[in-house]
Each structure stands twice: as C-alpha cells, then as structure tokens.
Structure 1
C-alpha cells in the first residue's frame, strides 16, 4: 500500500471526492429512470443532440424533441449551460448527513444515533424506498435492526451504498475501517447485498487514496464483503470480462442478462455498471463518469459514486473545468442547516475529521 501523502494532497483528493460526487450526480440526474432511460435510449438521445462522445453535462433536449426523450423535470437546472450550483438530491444529502453524524457523534456513533439524526435533520418527504421505510419505522418507535426489516421490500436496493462516501473520505487508506463504519450506518435500513454495497463503496473510496491502481482499489474493496455474496460475484464478473478485453458495451450487456429481474435500483446491477465505468474509464475523470452514466439504471447515484472514486484518484485540481465551474462551489441540500453550503467547506470539514483519527 502506498502512503497517502501530504496534508495538502489529502485536502485536494477529499475535495476531488466531493466535487466528483456532486458533478457525477448532476450528470446523471436528467435521465434517472432506469426502466425508461436504458443505455440504448441514453445514447440515442446523445446522438440526436450531437453529444457523443460525451465530455460535458448532458445537453438540453433538442427543440424538436418528442416524448420518447422526455427528461426528468429537474433537467432545467442540471444540463449544460443552465447549471448554477448543484441541484438538491439525496445522493448528496446523505454525504452531508454523514458528515454531520461524524461531527456530532464521532467515529463511535451507533446505528440508533444515525436514526435519531435522520429524524432531526432530514425531511421525511426527501427520503425514498428503503430510507423511507426505515424513517417510518423510526417514527413509529421501532429500533434497529427492525427498522430495516419491517415492511421494507427495498432492503437490497442502492440507498445504503449512496450513503457510504463519507466513511471512505474520512478513512483514507483504511478500507476495512471505512467498511465497518458504513455497515453500522447501513443496517438502519438495509440487509444483505444492500449492506454489502455500502461496505464495498466505502472501502473502495478509502482504498483509492493509497492503492497504486484502480484495479488494486477494487480488489481491496472486494476483500471486505463475503466472496459468496451476489454482489461480490457480480463485481468479479465485470473484472473478468474487462480482463478478457470485451468492449464496454458487451460487458454491460453480459452482466445485464445475468442480473435480469433485480430491478434498476437494486445494488447488484448498479454495482456492475459502476465497476464497468471505473474500469473502462481507466483513471480519466471525464471518461469514468460519462461511461458510468451512459450505462443506465440509477444514473445519478452511479454517476455520483463514480465521480467520488475518480475525484479521489485524480484530486480536485485534475477535474476538468467544465465539471467544476458550473457548480459554483455551492450545494443545495434538504438537510436542515446545510442548504447553500460550499463544497470547499464540506471538504475542509471532512479533512478535519480524517485528521482527528
């Protein structure tokens, strides 16, 4: 394992993670509906807008666009030329909430304290799927682990994975520690592969600070989850297809067939899209997040996590201006007390937590 480096380097890479998460989320948000916005439909949209290869935020719909290419309603504030700071989104809200959790309770936080903070800081109507089920269970007086299992059909969906970044950013070079923290958070709302997804993502981000290559980081991240889990088997399948030099499109087509029936918000197929984007992006920030979003499924969540990993690998200074500048160093958030906070401040507070351990 290589050393993390100087404080200045850590600051740049943590800021890169935050910027990457916000930019990747914004890139994928207009097409976040995986049952409609398939890989084929996304690429047809981009060809029609003369935007392939994709090197910037999504273009706005052509003036002669039809219903087949109707973007999500938020598109007017998250397509190129219209972005002035980030849109509000749960993929960023949970990173902020995780930061507040560690600042408030430290690294010895309990799962019950995660739930208490949700009730205090997070509006119910800004929660979805497993998080909404857990929130309702909390409000009805249930305690973990019942909050994850009672009347919750979304236990293996992607929600816990999107909450994991903060544990990786604050544990640079310590993937097992990051995974343990992510697990403590995830079991509030998830079980099985839903929890493993959070552990894997946190470990991957932590490993990205010190691993000599992305492939090494992916290998380290796999080591924190059961090898027999479907998540582990699927990620390893993507690795093997990449090693066999299959084109990106063929790799995704293969794993799509093998994970058919799980749904577009399930952790396992989304981890496959994310892994493929990282591998075929080959360390290039733009290529990584654009391939990941073009992969479909939960596009804003996958784009956000891919951007976080790529941003840690490259550092903020190496993120191209077309991704950074429109964000105007500003985050809009539903987390009480954080709306309008600067990305720079979030990164500085994250570094202080990392330095305190």
Structure 2
C-alpha cells in the first residue's frame, strides 16, 4: 500500500506539487547537462575549466555560452538551445522521451503491464533512430521477432549501461512512498534491454524517487533505494562507498576522484560510475535544488542523464513551487518529444496525468 503525502504542512509540499517538481527537475537537469554530454571529452576538469573561463563558477544556472571557439566546438550541436538566455522550451532528448513513454505505458496497460507490452509500445511510438545503445539493440531484436528476455541479451554489449535507469522515474512518481513496488515495476521495464547492474540501476532509481516523497532526508532516501537491490552488487557497493566517503567528511572533489579511480575501465555510460556521480551530487547538494543539479552535472560522465535523475529527486523533495524560477521559467512549460503524439506537450499536463495514476494506484 502506498503512503501518499496528503497535504502541505510538516510533511512539506503536497503530492501534486511534488510530482510536478519531479517532472520539472527531470527536464531542467537534462537541459543543464545536455551540452557537455560526452564523458570521454567533457571530464570534470574540463567542465570546470569551461565554467571558469565563462565566469560561471560556482554554477548556479544553466550553462553559460562558451567563452571561446574551442569550447564551443567541443559542445554537442544542440547547445544553442540549451544554454542560458537561449532556452525556449526543452530540447528533445531520450532522457525525457522515456519518462513520457513510461507514463503512456501505465495509462495504456496499467500497473499490471508486461515486458512484452513495453516492447510493443516502443515499436509503435518510438522512432528507431531516437534509441541508443542497449535500447537500440533491444529495439532491433524486437523488430526481428525476438521476445524478452532474449531482447536484452542477444548481440547487446550495453546490458549494464545507464539506459534502463533513465526510464525509471515514472515508476517512482506513480508509487510515492512505496519504493519496493516502484522498483518491481522498473525491473519489469528494464529487463527488455538490460541485465545485472543495468537492471539494478533502474530499480534503485525508481526506489530513490519513490522514497523522496516521504523520506526526511536524501540520505534516508538513498538507504531505502539500496534496500531494493542486492547488497553484493557492484552498484550497491559503489553507492555505499560514496556514502562512506561523504560521511568521512571528504570533499566532493576528493570523493569523486576516489570513486572514479575505483570504477575506471567501466566506461562513461555504464550504470555504476554514473550512479556514483549521482549519489555524490545528491549528498553534497544537501537538499538544495540548484546545488544538487549543478554538482551532479559538474561530476561529468553521462551529464544529461545524471542531471535529469538528480533533478527528478531534488524536484520531488522540494516541490515545483520551490524550484527556482531560473530553472523552470525558460522551459515555458513545454516539452519537445520524439514519442509519437506527445511533441509539444505541457510539463504541467504530464504532471497532472502522472498524479492521476499515483492517486489511483492500488
């Protein structure tokens, strides 16, 4: 049974405001990280160098325009729609597309959806060339007639990458205060394309977002999320490592430097090192929306995915009303999406539809 926050007061923002905050945070965090989403190029050091040259450290807003041509050439081509002063609604991105697709899945099939139905919806609503890594491998396998779980394992070298984690938010938003159920729903989605730590990442993220609705602190939400994945998994061990370094009073830079060395070789899109960056952003952000998303993106690796998830967690904690205007106003309550039938949808409308599912959940 879900335990829903029912209204303002000691419990903080009401459920509607928290769900809306999750959507706003996901979109804003994604936009913040998008220009520097290429982890082998945009290291922590290079990101901070860019910000220093632009006079934007500490970072408190969307990325500034590049200070020189060299920096501009290194950015993703969409940067002109994602830097401060140029944002008019959100850019299209898979980190938001999958949240929309997950919402459509639950509206269409309910909480009893099957993994096969997730795959059917991809084929129906999502263009093949807007999928990447494990999702593209699974999509190809689906189109060739394979069924889950073979869709995740056949000719798919990306099984533990971050794709399933970025699809998990809606399962947390619709099961507030019920992290175990949120994780179970995320797992059913994730096994279409992922295995091992790739699946655990989705379960962990869904539980983390679900717990954020009722947990008193980010630290408590992290503990609830760890409880739904195997303690011996590399993901759980790495998240605990970040927590222990934080509690040992290491600086944010020292913590990320230590964990980066310990996860070297996994690659910049693997679930485990990205979960470390995300955990550090949440802990050192200490409940502040701006500090959480900016530290997470400055942590490097898959910056737009990590920024989106950090924003989702922080937005749930603070509620939409408390998200600073500099993050939400440029979004103009509008999302661009490759999901058929959803391009130009309002963020507030997505939040209202998600709320209806959350309040109707058994």
Q: TM-score scaled to structure 2, two decimals?
A: 0.97
What does residue 139 of structure 1 align with?
Answer: 143
* CA–CA distance in structure 1, aligned partners of residues 322 and 51 of structure 2: 25
Q: Using the TM superposition, give the Cα deviation of residue 47 of structure 1 relative to its aligned residue in structure 2, in angstroms.
A: 0.1
1:74-89 counterparts in 2 under 5 A?
74-89=78-93
What does residue 199 of structure 2 align with?
Answer: 195
Structure 2, unaligned runs of 5 or more: none
What does residue 53 of structure 2 align with?
Answer: 48
1:1-357 counterparts in 2 under 5 A?
4-6=5-7, 9-62=14-67, 64-66=68-70, 70-357=74-361
Q: Using the TM superposition, give the Cα deviation of residue 66 of structure 1 relative to its aligned residue in structure 2, in angstroms.
A: 1.6
Q: Using the TM superposition, give the Cα deviation of residue 44 of structure 1 relative to its aligned residue in structure 2, in angstroms.
A: 0.1
Could you tell me whether the CA contact under 8 Å between 1:95 and 1:164 is conserved in 2?
yes
Could you tell me whether the CA contact under 8 Å between 2:334 and 2:346 is conserved in 1?
yes
Q: Using the TM superposition, give the Cα deviation of residue 22 of structure 1 relative to its aligned residue in structure 2, in angstroms.
A: 0.1
Deviations 1:169-215 (A, max 9, x none): 00000000000000000000000000000000000000000011111
Q: Using the TM superposition, give the Cα deviation of residue 2 of structure 1 relative to its aligned residue in structure 2, in angstroms.
A: 8.2
Could you tell me whether the CA contact under 8 Å between 1:2 and 1:212 is conserved in 2?
no
Could you tell me whether the CA contact under 8 Å between 1:331 and 1:340 is conserved in 2?
yes
* CA–CA distance in structure 2, aligned partners of residues 291 and 315 of structure 1: 19
Could you tell me whether the CA contact under 8 Å between 1:170 and 1:354 is conserved in 2?
yes
Please state whether the residue corresponding to 2:246 is helix, strand or coil.
helix
Could you tell me whether the CA contact under 8 Å between 2:50 and 2:71 is conserved in 1?
no
Could you tell me whether the CA contact under 8 Å between 1:276 and 1:292 is conserved in 2?
yes
* CA–CA distance in structure 2, aligned partners of residues 240 and 69 of structure 1: 38
Could you tell me whether the CA contact under 8 Å between 1:160 and 1:194 is conserved in 2?
yes
Moved over 4 A (4+): none
Q: Using the TM superposition, give the Cα deviation of residue 65 of structure 1 relative to its aligned residue in structure 2, in angstroms.
A: 2.7
Please state whether the residue corresponding to 1:201 is helix, strand or coil.
helix
* Number of residue equivalences: 356
Deviations 1:71-91 (A, max 9, x none): 110001000000000000000
Deviations 1:288-335 (A, max 9, x none): 000000000000000000000000000001100000000000000000
Could you tell me whether the CA contact under 8 Å between 1:288 and 1:310 is conserved in 2?
yes
CA 96–3 in structure 1, closer or farther in 2 if over 3 Å, else same:
closer
* CA–CA distance in structure 2, aligned partners of residues 343 and 2 of structure 1: 25
Q: Using the TM superposition, give the Cα deviation of residue 69 of structure 1 relative to its aligned residue in structure 2, in angstroms.
A: 5.8
Could you tell me whether the CA contact under 8 Å between 1:2 and 1:211 is conserved in 2?
no
Could you tell me whether the CA contact under 8 Å between 1:45 and 1:69 is conserved in 2?
no
Could you tell me whether the CA contact under 8 Å between 2:4 and 2:176 is conserved in 1?
no
CA 267–148 in structure 1, closer or farther in 2 if over 3 Å, else same:
same
Please state whether the residue corresponding to 1:56 is helix, strand or coil.
coil
* CA–CA distance in structure 2, aligned partners of residues 69 and 211 of structure 1: 42
Q: Using the TM superposition, give the Cα deviation of residue 5 of structure 1 relative to its aligned residue in structure 2, in angstroms.
A: 2.6
Q: Using the TM superposition, give the Cα deviation of residue 228 of structure 1 relative to its aligned residue in structure 2, in angstroms.
A: 0.2
Q: TM-score scaled to structure 1, two decimals?
A: 0.98
Could you tell me whether the CA contact under 8 Å between 1:158 and 1:194 is conserved in 2?
yes
* CA–CA distance in structure 2, aligned partners of residues 262 and 123 of structure 1: 28
The more displaced of 74-83 and 1-10 is 1-10
